Amino acid sequence: MADKNLSFILEKAGQVKFEDRPVPKLQSDRDVLVNIKVTGICGSDVHYWVNGAIGPFIVKSPMVLGHESSGIISEVGSAVTTLKVGDRVALEPGVPCRHCVRCKEGRYNLCAEMAFAATPPFDGTLAKYYALPEDFCYKLPEHVSLDEGALVEPLSVAVHIVKQANVKPGNSVVVFGAGPVGLLCGAVAKAYGATKIVAVDIVESRLDFAVKYAATGKFLPSRTPASETAERLIKEQDLGDGADVIIDASGAEPSIQAAIHALRVGGTYVQGGMGKPEITFPITLMCTKEINCKGSFRYGSGDYQLAVEMIASGRINVKELVTGRFDFKDAEQAFLDVKAGKGIKMLIEGVKD
C-alpha cells in the first residue's frame, strides 16, 4: 500500500492546504481502512473554513476537513467479519465511547466522548485514507453508486430529524429551509406517509427545486411579523388549524418564530438547523398550544442503515441533489461554490491513484 495520504487541511480560519500525512493505522482488530472515493461538502465544513469554530468546537491545530464520504475497503483488521477488501461502503463518521449511559441507552449520538470527523480536534475524511470500526461502515448494494453512498450522511441526518418528529401517515409537515437537509427531510417525511409537505425558503429557485423533488407545496415568506407569516402560510397551504409537524432546517430566528405560530395545538416542532446561540422564542404559545419541542443532533442507532435502505429501494433519490463535482485538487473551489450558495450538493472526488 502507498505510504502517502494526501489530505485537505484547514490550518486556521480562511486558510487551507494540501498535505501528505501518514496512512492511518488500524487501532483495533475490528477496524478497517477505507480508500475515500467521494465526499460531499456540508455547511459545517464551510463554517469551520470561514470562522475556524462552531460554538465550543474551535480549530486550534491543523484539521482535515470533510465527513460525508464513501469509499472502498483497502484493509481489514483480523477480527473483521462483515466486510472485506474491495467492498464499497458509506462511512458513519462519528465513533462514540460505547460505554457511557447515553451509549448504553442507544443514544450514542449524544455521547460526550464522541470522536466525530472534522470536529476539533478530530480529523475528517477529505483524505486518501480514513480508518473506522467495521460497524460504522455500511456496505453498499451493487446498484448503489459511491456518489449515493456519500449522500447517506445527510440523509441520515434527515432520517433522525423525521424520527424525532414522529411523522405518521396522513400528517401535514412544513419544513423551513430548502437546503440539502431540508429537502431530504421532506423526502423522508413523504416516505413515512406524510400527505402534505410544504417547503419554506427565501430563495425562489430552491422552492422550485423542492416541489420537483418531494414537496407538495412551497411558501416564500416576506418580512412580516411571525404571526402574520404563519397566518398566511396556513391559509395559502390549506393547513386548517395548523401543521401537524414543523421542522426547522434553517436555524433562522424568523423561521423558528413563525413555525411555533403555524403549528396546530398539540403539534410537534423539531429544531434541526443551527443558527444564533440564543434567540427570542414565543414561549407562551409553546405552553398554551402544548407543543412538543425537540432538538435533533446528527444521527443515532439505525438511522444510517435505514438511509442506505431508502436509497437502495428507490424510495428516496439522492442523485437529484448533486449539482456539481470537483477533482480533489480543486477542493477549495468546491468550498467557495458552496459558500456562494451555488447549487444544492457539491461532491469532491477522491485522490487519484
Give, for all 353 residues of the chain, the pLDDT tens digit: 456 999 999 999 999 999 999 999 999 999 999 999 999 999 889 999 999 998 889 999 999 999 999 999 999 999 999 999 999 999 999 999 999 999 999 999 999 999 999 999 999 999 999 999 999 999 999 999 999 999 999 999 999 999 999 999 999 999 999 999 999 999 999 999 999 999 999 999 999 999 999 999 999 999 999 999 999 999 999 999 999 999 999 999 999 999 999 999 999 999 999 888 899 999 999 999 999 999 999 999 999 999 999 999 999 999 999 999 999 999 999 999 999 989 999 999 999 98
> What's the maximum distance between 2 C-alpha atoms anywhere in the chain?
63
In angstroms, rounded to a whole number, what is the distance separating the alpha carbons of residues 275 and 282? 17
Output the pLDDT for position 213: 98
Query: Could you give the angle at the alpha carbon of 118 between the alpha carbons of 310 and 186, nearest 5°?
Result: 30
The DSSP output letter for 278 is S
Output the pLDDT for position 1: 45
The DSSP output letter for 122 is B
Which residues, 6+ apart, have CB-to-CB distance to 175 below 8 Å? Answer: 182, 185, 186, 189, 197, 198, 199, 200, 215, 246, 247, 249
Q: How far is CA 23 from CA 3, 119, 135, 145, in A?
A: 6, 20, 21, 25
In angstroms, rounded to a whole number, what is the distance separating the alpha carbons of residues 296 and 242? 22
C-alpha cell at 234: 396556513
Kindly tell me the sign of the dihedral angle through the C-alpha atoms of 138, 141, 146, 151: negative
Phi-psi region of 162 (alpha: psi -120 to 50; beta: other; left: phi over 0): alpha
Q: How far is CA 196 from CA 266, 277, 293, 296, in A?
A: 18, 31, 20, 22
The DSSP output letter for 306 is H
User: What's at 86, amino acid-wise?
Assistant: G
Output the pLDDT for position 300: 95
Output the pLDDT for position 3: 67
C-alpha cell at 243: 401543521
CA dihedral 194, 196, 201, 207 (to 10 degrees): 100
In angstroms, rounded to a whole number, what is the distance separating the alpha carbons of residues 252 and 255? 5
In angstroms, rounded to a whole number, what is the distance separating the alpha carbons of residues 316 and 307? 9
Q: What share of the chain is helix, strand, coil (3-state, %, to 5)?
A: 30, 30, 40
In angstroms, rounded to a whole number, what is the distance separating the alpha carbons of residues 88 and 122? 24
